[in-house]
Structure 1
Amino acid sequence: MHQLVYSDIKAAVDRTAGRVRPVALARVEPGGIRTDQGDALGDRPEEPYEVWLALEIMQYTGSFKARGAQNFLQAHRDAGTLPDAGVTIASGGNAGLACAWAARQQGVRATVFLPATAPEVKVAKLRGYGADVRLVGAEYAEALAACEEFASATGALASHAYGHPLIAAGAGTLMEEIHQQIPDLDTVVVAVGGGGLFAGVAAAARHHGIRTVAVEPENCRALNAAVEAGRVVDVPVDSIAADSLGARRTSAMALAAARQDGVHSVLVPDDKIVHARQALWDDRRLAVEHGAATALAALATPEVAETAKHGYRPAAGEKVAVILCGANTDLSDLAIPATA
């Protein structure tokens, strides 16, 4: 498996320049976003810390996945290896959206395989990008098997939701942009599904001496379980954030990144994810996926001292960027507070 390094990220920056939207950053003012315990993020009286939100929800297609898809297809375009049969991918939704969007930019067809459980909002968007959408099975793994069979039969270029070095390197361009805007950043907090965004972000962060906190739901813990086992393993998938973080197994590339110095793998419960998502809506009118809210939930989840497995507690004066990675969500379950 390719070990992602900083030169991979720099090459992706060059390929995607002018083809993706630069990330916007917003500082959380003291007393702004509150946890379900009433505490304000960053506003501990004796040890305050600084929190920034990286608004990748404003990216093309509504998630960071546009970066990897653009890098992947542009690299094949540059190498002359884009086939007439186009590109195909299996995706829980966001990677498929990004692949379809990038394929349209490159003038090639996209065939996207999704689990039948994919949110309708994502299916409709895919068709809007002109993709051939095929719904297969109840889990990502079943859609992936159908995609691999299709690629073998047709010669279509097989992309991947998270496990390809070009996909991960493209995602890592996000960390480069964050570092450019906050050069003295201490820590980046990122949600993990299959591990593509995490692997790319961790490679760039490590180069700049920035700590990476990899956050997963308690019951969608492919990376955390792999770190514990010392190898990639299958895990059950059962979380409110499973539509975007529900990979049954992480990639070997992500596991290699998690073994590097300066990387912490932590878990958060679903109730903290739900609250973090609602808090972003209440305080900022930011409508994010549960997967995106998972990163923020880490700051509102008390650490378990014996294992240091749950949540992340910044130190006094620490400067933290939380990546909000996706906005393709159903708004109907976001409560609107009553007004006077």
Structure 2
Amino acid sequence: MIDPAEIAVAHERVRDRIHRTPVLIARDLGLDAPLEVKLENTQLTGSFKVRGAFNSLLSRAVPQAGIVAASGGNHGAAVAYAARALGHPARIFVPELAGPSKIALIRSTGADLVVVSGTYAEALAAAREHEARTGAIQVHAYDDPATVTGQGTLMREWEEQGLDGVDTVLIAVGGGGLIGGALLWLQGRRKVVAVEPESCATLGAARKAGQPVDIEVGGIAANALGAKRIGSICFDLAQRFDTPVVTVTDDAIEAAQHRLWQGLRQWVEPAGATALAALASGAYTPEPGERVAVLVCGANPAPGPFD
């Protein structure tokens, strides 16, 4: 099991490379009470993924063959950005469903981008083949200790900024790198609720089966939350802390996107609105007096505002 102290080390390693994203009290989201929100959608490349990318690249030797990563879009953009900043070549594999905004974002970094048919699973297979053939190091999107501890810096940062009196934090789940880092850092000090789209609920399927299992992937958040199987690191942590899982519909996610735009003028991708969707739709109903916070995690909708 990863030591949570490694998140503190990762925080010092990446803090000068990333943004310290804002936390605010949202009063105009159409909810019953003000809500503490962390806007990680304002992070470099538009998502938390850059935390894990920088931690991964700064904590290991990079060979001449460079870096390879598979991604639904945001992870690829983050790895490509970090690789460019550190002077390393990078090849990024993404599925077609990544969408034009994320594909354009990755291309803008100068990385070698390969678009493959299928889903994230096919992109990962192609990245592993490239890794084996060339000797490049792979930066996994979610199931690697360096990725998870890098993502865990978000929750460490958030505790420094707020969460005073907050009982529960709602976090969207794809492969589990972000929520895994949060669980690792918090160690049960606060309740963490996993929120998944009904159409790609990897953690819920794994909790039900007692082990990670493959699922079918679909829905409007598939290009960010569309892992075929939950990561083993996240699954072990979710089992250890008995993490509750709720699912939300695509309609609820779309409605939450509009709430964030109307109330905060934050136009985010479906994955970025998924955690709020659980609260706004009633998929997660707090107990009387329970104080809840929400993470907004991704800012790259398809189509984007200038597509």
The 5 A counterparts of 1:124-273 are 124-182=104-162, 183-206=164-187, 209-261=189-241, 263-273=243-253
TM-score normalised by L of structure 1: 0.86
Q: Secondary structure at the match of 1:117?
A: helix
Measure the CA separation in 1 of the matches of 2:304 and 2:233.
36
Measure the CA separation in 2 of the matches of 1:186 and 1:201.
14
- 2:293 is matched with 321
Q: Is the contact between residue 100 and residue 303 of structure 2 (CA under 8 Å) also seen in structure 1? A: no
Q: How many correspondences in the alignment?
A: 304
Q: Secondary structure at the match of 2:127?
A: helix
**C-alpha deviation, 1:178, in angstroms:** 1.0
Matched, 1:72 2:52: no
- Greater CA radius of gyration, 1 or 2? 1
Measure the CA separation in 1 of the matches of 2:37 and 2:169.
10
Q: Is the contact between residue 287 and residue 331 of structure 1 (CA under 8 Å) also seen in structure 2? A: no
Aligned-CA RMSD value: 1.4
The amino acid of 2:36's aligned partner reads W
1:225-247: CA deviation from partner (whole Å, max 9, x where unpaired): 00110001001112111110011
- CA 1:270–1:16 in structure 2 vs 1: closer, same or farther (change >3 Å)? same
Measure the CA separation in 2 of the matches of 1:236 and 1:149.
23
**C-alpha deviation, 1:14, in angstroms:** 1.6
2:100 to 120, 125, 130: 120
- 1:8 is matched with 6
Measure the CA separation in 2 of the matches of 1:140 and 1:297.
24
**C-alpha deviation, 1:184, in angstroms:** 3.2
Matched, 1:275 2:264: no
Q: Secondary structure at the match of 2:170?
A: strand
Measure the CA separation in 2 of the matches of 1:17 and 1:132.
27
Q: Secondary structure at the match of 2:289?
A: coil
Q: Is the contact between residue 26 and residue 264 of structure 2 (CA under 8 Å) also seen in structure 1? A: no
Gaps of 5+ in 1: 35-40, 44-49, 303-310, 334-340
Q: Is the contact between residue 69 and residue 140 of structure 2 (CA under 8 Å) also seen in structure 1? A: yes
TM-score normalised by L of structure 2: 0.95
Identity %: 43
The amino acid of 2:179's aligned partner reads F
Measure the CA separation in 2 of the matches of 1:277 and 1:117.
19
Q: Is the contact between residue 93 and residue 124 of structure 2 (CA under 8 Å) also seen in structure 1? A: yes
Q: Is the contact between residue 99 and residue 303 of structure 2 (CA under 8 Å) also seen in structure 1? A: no
2:44 to 50, 54, 60: 60
**C-alpha deviation, 1:317, in angstroms:** 3.1
Runs of 4+ in 1 over 6 A off after TM superposition: none
- 2:266 is matched with 286
The amino acid of 2:295's aligned partner reads I
Measure the CA separation in 2 of the matches of 1:54 and 1:262.
24
The amino acid of 2:177's aligned partner reads G
Matched, 1:26 2:24: yes
